[in-house]
Amino acid sequence: MGKKIEEAEPDAGVYKMVIEGKITSANDSSGESVTPAAAVRVREFFPETLAWMPEIVTDDKGEAEITLPAADSITTWRLSLLANAKDGRMGSADIPYKVFQDFFVDTDVPVQLTVGDTFSLPVAVHNYAKERQTITLTLDARSGLKVGEKTTASLTLEPDGVGKALFPIHAVAAGRGQITVKAQGDKLADAVRRHIDVVPRGRLVEEAANATLRGDAVLKVNMPSGADPATSDLSLRFYPGPVSQLLAGLDGMLREPYGCF
């Protein structure tokens, strides 16, 4: 990445912070061919927050070097930096970092499905290469999801062209559904994997019990007779006192960058 951020204060000297990072992607925009779809790396790591590092300490020159994990998202990240010196001076900067490749496939999936649902999965293919390409799409669904009769599709895209295909998907069983789409062009290939939670038909039932533990204790949990064993979950937590239970709730609210605070 090699970005440099400088904050200068004429009256208090110059404070310089340099952060060196490295983000790589499967197929960059170099225009070179990639391996066929059968062997191409499947993109499946799509975090909302790529990194959160409040503990970075610079050296005596005000410099620090970090290495960031490579996400699979085709997007423009925003690198937000905030630093402070020992004498109280502060500096900040926002740096855009674009991750792009000449050919890629993507799909929008619902957050959750119910057993018995059927929907049409849209698959978009982006061809920013300089040549026209004929693309073959192949879709695979597992872990509670099933593809309809149509499992492949063919598209022809001009340079800078975008195409779309629809695939029927059925939710047949509860679980963590998985969908993998592979796109094979004349020279370039890409693959993406997404997950969908499939829940059973019915309603959510939760039970909680609180007690003071002295010696041995027995806690009975009544599971509904018609409950699906694959979706039944039991959570057990021990707190040394009321204050620790309160702090656990506050920790979830104030936690960065995922909490409500």
pLDDT 10s digits, 120-148: 999 999 999 898 999 999 999 998 899 98
pLDDT of residue 254: 67
Residue 2 pLDDT > 60, yes or no? no
pLDDT 10s digits, 152-202: 999 999 999 999 999 999 999 888 899 999 999 988 999 999 999 998 887
Higher confidence at residue 71 or residue 6?
71
From the candidate CATH numbers 3.20.20.70, 2.60.40.10, 3.30.70.100, 3.40.50.460, the one assigned to the domain spanning 103-199: 2.60.40.10
From the candidate CATH numbers 2.30.30, 2.20.130, 2.60.40, 1.10.4030, the one assigned to the domain spanning 4-98: 2.20.130
pLDDT of residue 18: 39
In this structure, are residues 17 and 62 in contact, taking their beta carbons and an 8 Å threshold? yes
pLDDT 10s digits, 247-256: 877 776 766 5
Nearest residue to 188 (alpha-carbon basis) of 229, 237, 110, 133: 133
The mean pLDDT of 72-85, rounded to a whole number, is: 88
Q: If DSSP codes are grouped into helix, strand and coil, which group holds residue 253? A: helix
pLDDT 10s digits, 198-243: 988 877 777 777 777 777 877 777 777 777 776 777 777 777 777 8
Give the C-alpha separation, 8 to 20, whole Å. 19
Q: If DSSP codes are grouped into helix, strand and coil, which group holds residue 69? A: coil
pLDDT of residue 246: 81
